[in-house]
Structure formats: structure tokens, C-alpha cells
Structure 1
């Protein structure tokens, strides 16, 4: 019999991304002419959901979109990815949006309008508690209100559900009121603010993963610290690469993969080779082929 797909619930944001290609990231007061614009679905929560689904997870999404055309189209898009949308709420606020400048080196600068992402409430999370409790793993980020994210983590941990948090965009509110999770996935800058000494107790997790771009990814537990080298690629667009890493790691970890960070590194590297966030997310077959090179 085929192995059942791990049940993964994502609580998080859904944005429509407008990506502009520019020769360099504009300085304050500078006006640039974009060579192209791409409009596609994004948002850290939905990016992670799509990444986990394409990597082989049975994914459900909890979040909020507007009663607008973008919201309706987003729900249809998630259905096409095989993602359960019964946990999605419609709001009078517009669907979230992001405006992204990507330069010739693949680096980016992002302005986000939260919109409906900030309309989700604690009551909404309580209404979806059974969905969270029935999962094997819960994925979280910080583009929704922090009390909502924290409550989702509490529900999951009380039910024995593994919790992965990517605390991005990092905020003073989270640093002052951080909460316990199983795995914390951060980049170098975030790690330096959360726990400069890479201390698990200070980070309030059992597994700390620090991604470092082209450098080795650090995997830190109470028993050992490992450095796992990512594949070397020439990035075209780094938008969504961290979300792809997180979604792929969630699936590999749920499946008991021997080295889930290696699998996630391959997924994240592949996501930098195409423009846009979700259009660049690889399938499981693509990840496995790339990881085995």
C-alpha cells in the first residue's frame, strides 16, 4: 500500500504578489523603470502550503481572504493544488497584497499590505481547532496577528501536534512574547535577534534551523549541531525560497526522512531558479532528482 501523505495544517497569510524586475533595489527617493512585472499568488502562509502540497503533504490552509475577485481566484488556485480550503475565511477587508522589487542579482525588497490577513481572529482559530488537532504538523509564520499564531500553536501542542514556526517578518511583539514550538526556522539575521548564542531555551524550541543562503544550513538540537551544505545555484529570484524550504522540511520531517534539511535545501535552491514565489516552487519529483545529484 502507498504511504499515507502526512496531514499538515498551515495557519497564515495569503497575498497577491506584484513582482517588478529592476536593475537594483531603489534607494530612498530614487525612481526606477521596471523591465517587467509578474502578478502571481503569494503570502508566506500560502507559499508554505503550496510547497508542502507539492512536496507530498496532505495540506489544509487556515487564513483569510477578501470578498473580492482576488480572494475568489485564490481559493480556486489552492483547490487546483489539492489544498483543503475549508479553513479559509472571507472578509470585508481586501485580499492581502505584496509589491516586490527584484534586482539583477536575485535579491529583493518587499512592501506588504496585510489586508484580510489581519482580519483573522482568535474566534476563527477556535472554530478551526479540530482541524489543527487532527494534523500531524502545524506550520506557522508571522504575517497574521501574533495572538492568532500563538493560540494555534497552543492548540496544536496540547494535542501532541508538531509545530514549526518561521518567525518572519520578525517583530518586536514576537521578541517580547515568544512562545514554545518544536522547530524554529530562521535566517541568520533573525537568529541574531532571537538568540545570538543559538540557545534552544532562549529560542523556545527543541530544534533550531538557521538558513544562511549559499552557506551551510545549521541544524541545532540538544544532542548535536550539524552543517548541511545546500546545492550551489545561480539565483534568478529569491522570493519564496525560505517558504519553500519550510514547506518541504515539514513534509520530509513528518515522513521521518533521514535528513529533512538536505531535502529542504534542495527545494529552496530550486525555488530561486524561476521568477515569482509560487510559480517557482518545485514538485517532489523535481526535489528528489535535484537532491540526489
Structure 2
């Protein structure tokens, strides 16, 4: 297996963040959104990353030019404009000043996007299915069909979704499910067992500062990471997802994949950039990550 990962990125965002540098505003423009952040971290770890993404309108044109050259883009030009937001981080915390939603894709655009994502996922052998930030861009049922078609043709599918998108993808039979405990109802242990009961090889439930829960076969594990001072907790979960996908693509042992995932998430929250980090630094930190059975005392 090669270290190739395809990332399904419907409607990536144009992001504008205002920072404070020596008392003056400093404005940063980036391509963003869940799939872009996941792609960045997977690439940093060494994966050959391909994005299957849509671009439309003025925002889409700018987003396309901002995507890093290290990421290969299979782009689909659409009429629907990409979304955008402005965040103010001059006081330390992110404050959203304005959000412009992405527009819905047409039926023909959806057909073309599905075809693009299917072929790129099959070619790579490992695919991450991410979601657009906005509702209504594409039907949730697309995730069930795409998951089923990819796994049915030998692709390992990693999903990082919530709500009805997760439910649809889950019914398609993904290989790995990553979800935040903030995005599930009820007890994380019960939810994790339910998600794993239909055949997912690995289910990871991130829990903020608490150890992530992992459901693998009959085992329930925890990922314990070193204590680090957070700068921005946004993007930590996406870094976990990226490392899970990279580990599958690199055919690493499950314990090593989980340690790498924990390290990627922990290191990302010490940085201002989302989905960023040095691959060598992640690997070094992973040596300090502990994967233990849930009942085992540290």
C-alpha cells in the first residue's frame, strides 16, 4: 500500500483571521474548512494527498489559489460559491465577525463531484470524507452512497462527521469513524459501542482535554497524551483524523496509528495554524503517548 490519501472536500472555505501584532491588526487569508485542515496534517506526516474539491464564485477562486502546492487538487469548477468567514483573534479567543454560507450544489454538480471523489478515493486506497461547514450544500445521503461504493471497491474510508451526515456514512460501512463527544447524544461508551457494532475497524471519540476513547474489536482503549498548554483547540480533532488516515495508508500497526493520532491532535492545539505541525515533531511526541485499556490504571 502506498501512502496516498484522498480527501473529499466539498466547498472549502475562504478564511480571514485578524491577529494582534505589536498592537496593530494583522490579517491572514487561508484556505480552510475541515477537509483542508485534515489534508494539511496528512501531508505533513508524509502522505501523498489529493483533494477532491469544488470551487465557485469569487471566494472559490481565491480559495483555490491559497491551497498549498504540496497538496494535489482535483478541482471541480461549479456555479455555487464557496463559503467564507472572518474571525477576530486579537483578544486571544476566536470571535466570528461574519459568516457567508456556501451555496448548494446543483444536481449535475453533485453528480460530477461524486464521480470525482469516487475515482480519486479508489485510486488512493484510503479516503477521508469530510463535510462542508454549511448545511444544504449537498444531501446527507451522498455520504452513505459514497462510503458504500468506496468500501465495496477496496478503499479504506475514514469519516469525521456528525449528525445525519454521520448516520448516513455509518450505514455505508466505513473503516474508521472519528467523532467528538460534543457531537454525540448520551454516554460516549454506549455511543462508541453502537458505532463499532456494525463493522467499523476503529472508532475514536475525542473528548477535549480528556483521553480519547478508542473502540477496536472487543477492546475499549484510551489515548493519553502529554499535558501541553493549548493556544487554539480548533483543528485538533481534524489532526487526529488525518493521522488515522495516514496510519492506514502507511499500513502501520494499530497501536502506532493511535499514538500518532493522539500526538497530532495534541501538538496542533499548541499552534495558531489549524491542521498544521511538523511531521517529525508529531512522531517524536507520539513516543510519549500511551494507549491503554480503559480499565487499566496509569
TM-score tier, shorter chain, comes to 0.7 to 0.9
What is the number of residues matched between the two proteins? Answer: 272
**TM-score, with normalisation over the residues of structure 2?**
0.78
Q: For each residue in 1:161-214, what CA deviation from the matched residue of structure 2 results, as whole angstroms up to 9, or x when unmatched?
A: 1111111xx334654785221111011122336976135444643321011122
**Matched residue, 1:89:** 76
**Structure 2 unaligned spans of 5+:** 289-298
1:216 aligns with 2:216: no
| Mean Cα deviation higher: 232-241 or 90-99 | 90-99
Contact 1:102–1:237 (CA under 8 A) maintained in structure 2: no
Measured after TM superposition, the shift of residue 131 of structure 1 is: 2.0
Within the candidate set 141, 163, 167, 1:171 is matched to 163
Within the candidate set 227, 230, 237, 1:242 is matched to 237
1:49 aligns with 2:16: no
**Matched residue, 1:121:** 110
Q: 1:193 to 1:276 in 2, by over 3 A?
A: farther
Question: Where in structure 2 are the equivalents of 1:77-156 lying within 5 Å?
Answer: 77-78=66-67, 80-81=69-70, 83-86=71-74, 88-100=75-87, 113-115=100-102, 118=105, 120-143=109-132, 145=138, 146-156=140-150
Distance in 2, matches of 1:229 and 1:113, equals 38
Distance in 2, matches of 1:233 and 1:222, equals 30
Secondary structure of 2:185's counterpart equals: helix
Within the candidate set 3, 6, 15, 1:9 is matched to 6
1:277 aligns with 2:274: yes
Contact 2:30–2:67 (CA under 8 A) maintained in structure 1: no
**Matched residue, 2:155:** 161
**TM-score, with normalisation over the residues of structure 1?**
0.79
Distance in 2, matches of 1:116 and 1:189, equals 26
**Structure 1 unaligned spans of 5+:** 23-33
Measured after TM superposition, the shift of residue 244 of structure 1 is: 1.5
